[in-house]
Amino acid sequence: MEGGISNYLQNQIKQAQQIEGQIEQLGTQKYQMDMRIKELSKTIDELEKISEGTPVYRSVGPVLYKVDDRSKLVEDLKEQKELSEIRIKTLEKQQKSLEEKYRELEQAIQKAYGAQTGQ
């Protein structure tokens, strides 16, 4: 083991790097969900401000179609917002769990490295 680190320590470091990547991915997903929630909120607010007779269109891919039941559209958007908020909470729990696991691994790596180098 002279001049190198043990397989155990290498595996621990690799696992920590993988967790770090997962934490980053969760952060990105959380950011995207947060942006989606803000967009949905703004859309809902705007739809609730306009008068009843104003035509409303919804995009589905590259196609726009007229919405006949605006209140149904608002309810659908509120449901999407609620589901997105639930998803963010789930992502936050996953992120917190991974961060905790990462800290534990970090401590184990430091301990193992210290033991290996005799410090």
What is the predicted pLDDT for the residue at 8?
84
H/E stretch holding 3 reads: none
The confidence score (pLDDT) of residue 46 equals 94
pLDDT of residue 6: 84
Sorted by sequence, the CB contacts under 8 Å of residue 35 that are 6+ apart come out as none
Burial category of 101 from C-beta neighbours within 10 Å (exposed 0-12, middle 13-18, buried 19 and up): middle
What does the pLDDT look like over 13-45, one tens digit per residue? 999 999 999 999 999 999 999 999 999 999 999
pLDDT at 65 over 70: yes
C-alpha 104: how far from chain center: 22
47-64 residue pLDDT tens: 999 988 899 999 999 999
pLDDT at 2 over 70: no
First vs last C-alpha separation in the chain: 15
Contacts of 113 (CB under 8 A, 6+ apart): 5, 9
Which stretch of DSSP H or E encloses residue 65? strand 63-67
The domains of the chain, with CATH numbers, are 7-117 (1.10.287.370)
Radius of gyration (C-alpha) of the chain in whole angstroms: 24
* pLDDT for residue 98 is more than 70: yes
User: What is the share, in percent, of the chain residues with pLDDT greater than 70?
Assistant: 95
